[in-house]
Chains A and B, each alone.
Chain A
Amino acid sequence: NAGVTQTPKFQVLKTGQSMTLQCAQDMNHEYMSWYRQDPGMGLRLIHYSVGAGITDQGEVPNGYNVSRSTTEDFPLRLLSAAPSQTSVYFCASSYSTSLGSGGYTFGSGTRLTVV
């Protein structure tokens, strides 16, 4: 049971390049989310999904796209990378947001630098 797997762990992009951050979970969780965390800051929600085929915007969705074609995978696409997107990106999943469900399980993060 691998939990939430994020790839790559580190990435350097040039301004204007595009890329996809991969996220996969093997726990059959319905809920999945992408967050970004800047130095000394909290986590800001980019996009989230409550099930396959359903996605919605979070607090900071601009410049990012997501899709949820399967329960397991929730890739995050950067359309045209900008230095402001330099951050650590976390993917998370949960089977429920009900009391005692254990909340979100987070991946280990992808550290992205845009130069």
Chain B
Amino acid sequence: GESVGLHLPTLSVQEGDNSIINCAYSNSASDYFIWYKQESGKGPQFIIDIRSNMDKRQGQRVTVLLNKTVKHLSLQIAATQPGDSAVYFCAESEGDDKIIFGKGTRLHILP
């Protein structure tokens, strides 16, 4: 079946730099996308979401970009902090019912 995937399993970023986490999706009918953060030993935590009729959405220190032409989603984290160290998942939904997750990218913050 179709699935959400990620380009890189691990991303290392210098503290204070911006982080960009990428995600490719294959279901062209998906119309709702979400980014989640999962810290060790905890359940995923919602970060930000975006609809397919949008290209960009901003939150506090985070921005999600959606490129429907190439079916690509990215999460930008400004001024990365040690507390941003976690695994980040993109997830997609078609028709507003089930949410399908990708495999995740681990963000490692360098001091």
Give residues in A with beta carbon < 8 Å to B.
Answer: 4, 31, 33, 35, 41-45, 48, 50, 56, 58-59, 90, 92, 97-109
Q: A35-B101, A42-B101, A97-B32 are in contact. Are A104 and B46 (CB under 8 A)?
A: yes
The main secondary structure of chain B at its interface with chain A is: strand
Could you say which interface size class chain B belongs to?
20 to 34
Give residues in B with beta carbon < 8 Å to A.
Answer: 1, 32, 34, 36, 42-46, 49-51, 89, 93, 96-104
Q: A99-B32, A106-B43, A106-B44 are in contact. Are A33 and B104 (CB under 8 A)?
A: no
A103 B46 Cβ-Cβ under 8 A: yes
The residues of B that contact A50 with a CB separation of less than 8 Å are 97
Cα A105 to Cα B32 in complex, Å, equals: 17
Q: How far is the CB of A33 from chain B (nearest CB, A)?
A: 7
Cα A56 to Cα B101 in complex, Å, equals: 17
Contact of A43 among B1, B45, B46, B89 (CB under 8 A): B89
With contacts A42-B89, A48-B98, A103-B36 known, what are 19 further pairs, Cβ within 8 A? A4-B43, A35-B101, A42-B101, A45-B99, A48-B97, A50-B97, A56-B98, A58-B98, A59-B100, A90-B44, A92-B44, A97-B32, A99-B49, A103-B34, A103-B46, A104-B46, A106-B43, A106-B44, A109-B42
